[in-house]
Chains A and B, each alone.
Chain A
């Protein structure tokens, strides 16, 4: 397994180590002690409260959450365990996952008739785009969706859905600016006659306090009895998310939630808030501008993101995208057999660089904080030097660095325009990396046998 993949593994396994710096600081304090006092937990919870509030989780939801977690943490579970800090973090993360989970992307289809999905939400939450994305998703499932333009208020909303429909190759039902209830009914009829088995109704964005428009939704619901009523929520929403979700839920009995614009850098605390007040599963997330950018909602990822680990996950994705799987497998083999060479090292560096600037990558990986990588801290320029140095070696030298003696070192330094010290440093770094990777791969093996222990506590 190569470096980025190991990072991926490591990051997943060590998820609880990867909190924000602030949380890390608190737990460092906690880590020093054998057992947790109530005061310790309270101290930790203060930071967790802040982290959640900064992530836009609703104030009241945070209050409840912190109280619940405190109760659990101050209890025996933690006090009597050997590694209290581990448990506190785990409890927080687990509780977040539990509250936002389970993963549930099941959509409810009608057995006999045309299924009706109704998309609702505030203005600008991304309903129309999501309609297109969901339509595409369903058609990939083998369904034959019909998109229905029921937003008669916003200028050009119908046109937008038509364009979106065209892009995903799905039919769009329009009836101009008539009553949305009549449009929805007629669309159902149309679908039935044209062999569409799902209709996705794009309703107009509206404020939850706009009584007239909320009533309109109730009338549509009554007229077409939807199988799914999905609330589309902008993941950047702040404290008000609870009011919005609660009102929509009270009036319409939502069946699910879709979180949009998660490709930004929002921590997305709204996810926890809306789940907490509606109890409806968050089914999908929108993660990009393209119409294929709709993914299932993973509670564990979201929990990590809310706690400030979003970057790690995006790094994982970047790594996965940038890495050639076959090469990765070969490398894994080499590490196992301890045949990892400087040539591979060069390859690794190139692959890591594909993911972005090194500073950025390093700062993204809590488990691999600079302290952990003592001596293997490099900056961008150094990478260029490293490449030059390795390029100045003979193949034999790259494969077997132990043959590099004094005169070879001098030659390599000359050839790469660096100094002998630089060459020495690289060789040392290489040895350290090799060791580190070996450790990580052992760690992984050990874990499979069930004796894995987090090394960071």
Chain B
């Protein structure tokens, strides 16, 4: 390469760099600069939104800043909130009786409690609900569900500990048909998504639902603990593959955890959040409101 060519190239490079810098200054005006964005990144990551989803949000934000000539940090925040809200698909959980709801998730996320709350919710809406205690693995899980059933005033179908979960669901479906239940909610044992045999067991529950009650709509709800970090994405992916998850219930949002990983999941897997759990009371289940959620994060 000749001397002049090299000189020219380096000049072009400098020019480009300068242009970028100036663009940067114009882009963020005096008040919005990279520091502001870094602060926002910290907020997003601290809420468990994760690196890649945060990056995505921020790059969209950058474009918005440019397009809409956003100047003040307040406007910037609002713009970011809008981006977060946009990530969530606007689906609501629609119940068309008869419906079978499979409630799945890893250990300790609050499946049984969520079922208690769901049962109460549907019951107060005038629906007839039957609970199926298909967590036959964890000690006293069926008892726990029965107590919730009593509280909510709905029937519970249960077997002995250690029995076949599919048999419990089968019986619950028969009971549901006989008693003309609108909704059968099936509790399942908590399982790590990495346990292959346990995931197969879950698939079987789905198949039993399809086969024994073809008229029923099957809804699989994934219960996620809001304190969970990035592993929730792997959970959602694998549970979705197994039982075709329709949406998420985000629990334990009454703590300090923000549950931001739901944003990452919505962005990656297009899964809506239907409900949030905000306490241990029967009515501590709320419909998910993306705006309130975004407000809580920022």
Report chain B residues within 8 Å CB of A243.
256-257
Contact bitstring A365-387, B, C-beta under 8 A = 1, else 0: 00000000000000000000000
The answer to whether B106 and A209 have CB atoms under 8 Å apart is no
- Which residues 244-286 in A have Cβ within 8 Å of B in the complex? 244, 261, 263-267, 269-270
In this complex, the member of A156, A208, A209, A289 whose beta carbon has the largest number of chain B beta carbons within 10 angstroms is: A156
| B161 adjacent to A163 (CB under 8 Å) | yes
Q: Check B48 for interface membership: any CB of A closer than 8 A.
A: yes
* Cα of A273 to Cα of B261 in the assembled complex, Å: 18
CB of B47 within 8 A of CB of A207, answer: no
**Chain A binder among B93-101, B121-129, B137-145, B205-213:** B137-145
Residues of B near A241 (CB, < 8 A) are 227, 229
CB contact under 8 A between A238 and B229, given known A53-B45, A155-B148, A163-B161:
yes
Contact pick for A237, options B141, B229, B258, CB 8 Å: B229
Also in contact, A59 and B46, with CB within 8 A (given A156-B143, A238-B261) = yes
**A264 neighbours in B (Cβ, 8 Å):** 106, 192-194, 231
A452 contacts the other chain (Cβ, under 8 Å)?
Answer: no
Report B-chain residues with C-beta under 8 Å of the C-beta of A236.
106, 225, 228-229, 231-232
Whether A244 pairs with B143 at a CB distance below 8 angstroms is no
Q: Given the complex, which residues of B lie within 8 Å of A269, measured CB to CB?
A: 229
Judge if B280 is at the interface, Cβ distance under 8 Å: yes
| Pair B257/A261 contact, Cβ less than 8 Å | no
Stretch at the interface among B1-9, B107-115, B168-176: B107-115
Confirm or deny: A124 has a beta carbon within 8 angstroms of a beta carbon on chain B.
yes
**Within the complex, what minimum Cβ distance (angstroms) separates A46 from chain B?**
11
* B144 touching A207, Cβ below 8 Å: no
* Residue on B nearest A122 in the bound complex, by CB: B227
CA–CA, A167 to B260, complex, Å?
38
Q: What is the minimal beta-carbon distance from B267 to any residue of chain A, in angstroms? A: 15
A50-B51, A239-B46 known; A263 vs B194 contact (CB < 8 Å): yes
Question: Counting CB contacts under 8 A, is B42 at the interface?
Answer: yes
Q: List, in ascending order, chain A residues with CB within 8 A of B139's CB.
A: 128, 159-164, 167
Q: Mark B192-209, 1 if CB is under 8 A from A, else 0.
A: 111100000000000000
The one of A125, A160, A238 in contact with B140, judged by C-beta atoms closer than 8 angstroms, is A160
> Smallest Cβ distance from B225 to chain A, in angstroms?
6
Given contacts A163-B140, A234-B225, contact A239 B194 (CB under 8 A): no
B228 touching A208, Cβ below 8 Å: no
Complex CA gap A80/B131 in Å reads: 68
A123 pairs with B194, CB closer than 8 A: no
Tell me whether A54 and B230 are in contact (CB under 8 A). yes
How many contacts between A and B, using CB within 8 angstroms? Answer: 137
Q: Is A453 an interface residue (CB 8 A)?
A: no
Interface class of chain B by DSSP: loop
Q: Mark B218-239, 1 if CB is under 8 A from A, else 0.
A: 0000000101111110100000
Say whether, besides A126-B107, A163-B139, A240 and B50 are in contact (CB < 8 Å): no
B143 and A159 within 8 A (CB):
yes
Q: Check B109–A124 contact: CB distance below 8 A.
A: yes
- Nearest CB in chain A to that of B232: its residue: A236
Q: A124-B108, A126-B108, A209-B255 are in contact. Are A160 and B138 (CB under 8 A)?
A: yes
Contact of B27 with A by CB under 8 A: no
Whether a CB of chain B sits under 8 angstroms from the CB of A154 is yes
The one of B42, B192, B255 in contact with A263, judged by C-beta atoms closer than 8 angstroms, is: B192
Q: Cα distance A234–B227 when bound, in Å? A: 9
Task: Please report the C-alpha to C-alpha distance between residue A241 and residue B256 in the assembled complex, in whole angstroms.
Answer: 10
Q: Which among A126, A155, A157, A234 has the highest number of chain B CB atoms within 10 Å? A: A155
Q: Quick one: given A155-B148, A234-B227, A239-B45, are A123 and B110 in contact (CB under 8 Å)?
A: yes
In the complex, the answer to whether A238 meets B194 with C-beta atoms within 8 Å is no
Tell me whether A228 is interfacial, beta carbon within 8 Å. no
- B147 in the interface (beta carbon within 8 A): yes
B234 proximity list for chain A (CB < 8 A): 265
**Is B117 in the interface zone, CB < 8 Å from A?**
no
Interface set, chain B 46-61, CB cutoff 8 A to A? 46-48, 50-51
* A123 surroundings in chain B (CB, below 8 A): 108, 110, 252
Q: How far is the CA of A209 from the CA of B252 in the complex (A)?
A: 12
- Asked whether any CB of chain B lies closer than 8 Å to the CB of A202, the reply is no
Q: Is A457 an interface residue (CB 8 A)?
A: no
Question: A56 contacts the other chain (Cβ, under 8 Å)?
Answer: yes
Q: How far is the CA of A244 from the CA of B139 in the complex (A)?
A: 27
Determine how close the nearest CB of chain B comes to the CB of A391; give it in whole angstroms.
Answer: 30
Using known A-B contacts A123-B252, A155-B147, determine if residue A56 contacts B231 with beta carbons closer than 8 Å: yes
CA distance A209 to B279 in the complex (A): 12
Tell me the complex Cα distance, A160–B254, Å: 25
9 pairs, CB–CB < 8 Å, chain A vs chain B: A54-B230, A55-B230, A56-B231, A122-B227, A124-B110, A159-B139, A237-B228, A240-B48, A269-B229
* Given A53-B45, A124-B110: 12 more A-B contacts, CB < 8 Å: A53-B50, A124-B252, A126-B107, A128-B139, A155-B144, A156-B141, A156-B144, A236-B225, A236-B229, A238-B257, A241-B229, A244-B255
Q: Which residues of B contact A (CB under 8 A)?
A: 42, 45-48, 50-51, 106-110, 137-141, 143-144, 146-148, 161, 192-195, 225, 227-232, 234, 252, 254-258, 260-261, 280
Per CB-CB distance, the 10 closest pairs between chain A and chain B, nearest first, are A238-B229, A124-B108, A56-B229, A163-B139, A155-B147, A156-B144, A159-B140, A156-B143, A240-B257, A160-B140
